[in-house]
């Protein structure tokens, strides 16, 4: 009788172990075979990112060893999509733009739209490259590039701009969101990563570091 009970217990334990092994094997099969490619792509997005780093140029001297071209440290502002919080994106962009304006720092904004004194939106004079990129964006979003007011409103809606902002503040926000969008896969433009501002003063670097501005 005791031998029969022991046999039942061993069989039950063996059955449980077998079930657990089957569950683990099934899970591994799902992770590595069925959804392996998808999970790999997700891990790559979270763990790796591409950053363009300009190589330092060597100093150029004349025949007497006097410096003609030298190097110096400079600071640039760019965006880190991994750390950039989606819910605060527009708020942070507007704060950053206003900081640059206060400190007389030029930043990259090639959106060929400008807000007039009466609040109307019109096409701005821009180079061929800026116009071509604008038309590519409009094509991807099925918008009419000849109707700047409609495109302006579409961008404000697409980027979730808060309704309480002025027309000029909206223009500042969508201009930067547009630059980020140009480098996304949905627009299909193979252009370099977005550097918001180059060679900014150390005073602005200190202000940005002191504030809560992730990304």
Buried b (16+ CB within 10 A) or exposed e, 144-161: ebeebeebbbbbbeebeb
Structure tokens at 179: 């630059």
Q: By percentage, how much of the chain surpasses pLDDT 70?
A: 91
Reduced to 3 states (helix: H, G, I; strand: E, B; else coil), residue 46 is helix
Which residues neighbour 50 within 8 Å (Cβ) at sequence distance 6 or greater? Answer: 193
Does residue 47 carry a pLDDT above 60? no
Q: What is the pTM of this model?
A: 0.69
Cα within 13 Å of Cα(106), Cβ side:
4
Burial-class residue 127 by CB neighbours within 10 Å (0-12, 13-18, 19+).
exposed
d(CA 159, CA 111): 14
Predicted pLDDT of residue 168: 92
Q: For residue 79, count other CB atoms closer than 10 A to its CB.
A: 20
pLDDT at 172: 93
Predicted confidence (pLDDT) per residue in 108-147, tens digit: 999 999 998 888 889 988 889 999 999 999 998 898 999 9
Whether the predicted pLDDT of 46 surpasses 60: no
Q: Which of 39-43, 65-69, 100-104, 191-195 has the lowest mean pLDDT?
A: 39-43
What pLDDT, on the 0 to 100 scale, is given for residue 119?
83
- Give alpha helix (H) positions in the chain: 2-29, 36-47, 89-102, 128-140, 148-158, 167-182, 202-210
Tokens read off for 44: 């790559």
Structure tokens at 182: 């140009």
Q: Is the pLDDT at 178 greater than 70, yes or no?
A: yes
Q: If you count them, how many residues does the chain have? A: 215
């Amino acid at each position: 009788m005791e031998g029969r009970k022991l046999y039942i217990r061993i069989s039950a334990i063996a059955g449980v172990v077998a079930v657990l092994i089957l569950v683990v094997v099934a899970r591994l099969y799902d992770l590595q075979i069925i959804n392996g490619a998808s999970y790999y792509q997700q891990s790559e997005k979270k763990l790796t990112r591409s950053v363009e780093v300009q190589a330092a140029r060597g100093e150029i001297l004349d025949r007497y060893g006097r410096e003609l071209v030298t190097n110096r440290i400079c600071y640039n502002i760019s965006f880190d999509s991994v750390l950039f919080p989606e819910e605060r994106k527009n708020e942070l962009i507007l704060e950053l733009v206003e900081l640059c304006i206060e400190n007389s720092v030029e930043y990259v904004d090639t959106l060929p739209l400008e807000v007039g004194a009466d609040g109307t939106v019109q096409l701005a004079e821009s180079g061929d490259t800026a116009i071509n990129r604008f038309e590519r964006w409009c094509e991807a979003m099925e918008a009419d590039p000849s109707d700047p007011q409609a495109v302006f409103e579409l961008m404000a809606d697409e980027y979730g701009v808060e309704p309480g902002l002025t027309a000029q503040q909206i223009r500042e926000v969508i201009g930067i969101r547009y630059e980020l969008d140009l480098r996304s896969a949905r627009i299909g433009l193979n252009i370099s990563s977005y550097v918001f501002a180059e060679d900014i003063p150390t005073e602005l670097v200190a202000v940005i570091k002191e504030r809560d501005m992730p990304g």
